[in-house]
Amino acid sequence: MKNLYLIAYLDLKESIRAKWFVVYSLVFGGLIALFFIAGVTESQVMGFSGLSRLLLMYIQITIVILPIFILITTVRSISGDRDNHILEYMLSFPISLKQYYWGKIIGRFITVYLPVLFAMVIAVIYGAFKGADIPWSIFFLYTGLLFALSSAFLGIAFFISSFVKSSEVALGIAFFIWIFLLAFIDIALISLMMQQRFNEELIIFISLANPMELFRVAAISLFDPELTVMGPVAFYILDSISQSMFVLLSIGYPLVLGLIFAFLGYKIFEKKDLV
């Protein structure tokens, strides 16, 4: 365990010093600051106002940029170290592959999750200071959703990192996965739905198997428990499971997905030549 924490701690320290981390933190902190400056908390759209409105906007932007940030910054963690011979030296010390791999994941998870969480905490503190009502239920839901989404993409990134031979290929695959989950699935499913080739239930199931889509739906479910803005899709979702069950699923599923990918990545890392 000592070595696991050591790897996590050193990876965390190394990441915090890296330029990408500064940019990453500034983007999320800057978003919140921008919303305050733009007066989002004072505006009212579709009945949502104050901090709720701010958090909703924050989460909508986060859904787009968080996955790509995590993928790009993490996908090179193992493959990059392999590329530039860092792995060759660091693994010449008596550290098990399990400790090295999972230590890196823990360190990287803290690095990617904390700035996103801190940005929301700052928003809540600032909002409280300005006398706004704190939407605690939304805050906790988003904390859980972001945790789950970070896990899913971190797991996918480590999975890619474990088998690609060069950092450039890793980046290419990461970008493809991001754009595929963000847009292509939706476009493909919408066209299939329009052509009525498959039944709607199957299409909605495929759609919700996408962690980004699930995150998107869960993010609005607290504002709109009936999911009316989603139209007929809500019928299928809420007909199958209750709203609270849906929230649990939207946190549990990406978390499990991330763990499965991370575990597969570990198995590949263990079975392949290390350098």
Q: Which stretch binds another protein (CB under 8 A): 55-63, 82-90, 112-120, 139-147?
A: 82-90
> Interface with another protein includes 13 (CB under 8 A)?
yes
Would you count residue 88 as binding another protein (CB under 8 A)? yes
268 binds another protein (CB under 8 A): no
17 binds another protein (CB under 8 A): yes
Phi, psi angles (nearest 5°) of residue 28: -75, -40
Q: What is the sign of the dihedral through the CA atoms of 74, 78, 84 and 85?
A: positive
Question: What one-letter code names the amino acid at 45?
Answer: V
The answer to whether 198 contacts another protein (rule: CB under 8 A) is no
Q: Do 31 and 119 meet the contact criterion of CB atoms below 8 Å apart?
A: yes
- According to the binding rule CB under 8 A, does residue 249 interact with another protein? no
**AA identity, residue 77:** S
Do the beta carbons of residue 60 and residue 143 sit within 8 Å? no
Q: Does 90 bind another protein (CB under 8 A)?
A: yes
Between CA 222 and CA 38 the distance in angstroms is 24
Instruction: Based on the shown chain and the rule CB under 8 A, indicate whether residue 267 belongs to the binding site for another protein.
Output: no
Structure-block tokens of residue 218 = 């869960």
* Contact status: 22 vs another protein (CB under 8 A): no
Question: Site for another protein (CB under 8 A): which residue of 38, 97, 121, 183?
Answer: 97
| 168 vs 174: CA distance, rounded Å | 10
Could you tell me which stretch among 14-22, 109-117, 128-136, 157-165 binds another protein (CB under 8 A)? 14-22
Note whether 20 binds another protein by CB under 8 A.
Answer: no
E strand segments, the chain:
44-45, 48-49
Taking the least distance from each CB to another protein, the nearer of 94 and 131 is 94
Which one of residues 93, 129, 195, 239 is an interface residue with another protein (CB under 8 A)?
A: 93
Residue 91 near another protein by CB under 8 A? yes
Does 10 sit near another protein (CB under 8 A)? yes
CA distance 91 to 86: 8
Q: How far is the CB of 114 from another protein (least distance, A)?
A: 19
* The amino acid at 210: N
Residue closer to another protein by CB (options 267, 271) is: 271
Q: Nearest approach, Cβ of 245 to another protein (angstroms)?
A: 44
Do 170 and 161 form a contact (C-beta atoms < 8 A)?
A: yes
Question: Checking phi first, is residue 39 left (phi over 0); if not, alpha (psi -120 to 50) or beta?
Answer: left
Does 64 engage in binding with another protein (CB under 8 A)? no
User: Six-digit token pair at 102?
Assistant: 């999972």
> Is 273 near another protein (CB under 8 A)?
yes
The residue ranges that bind another protein (CB under 8 A) are 2-3, 6, 10, 13-14, 17-18, 84-86, 88-97, 271-275
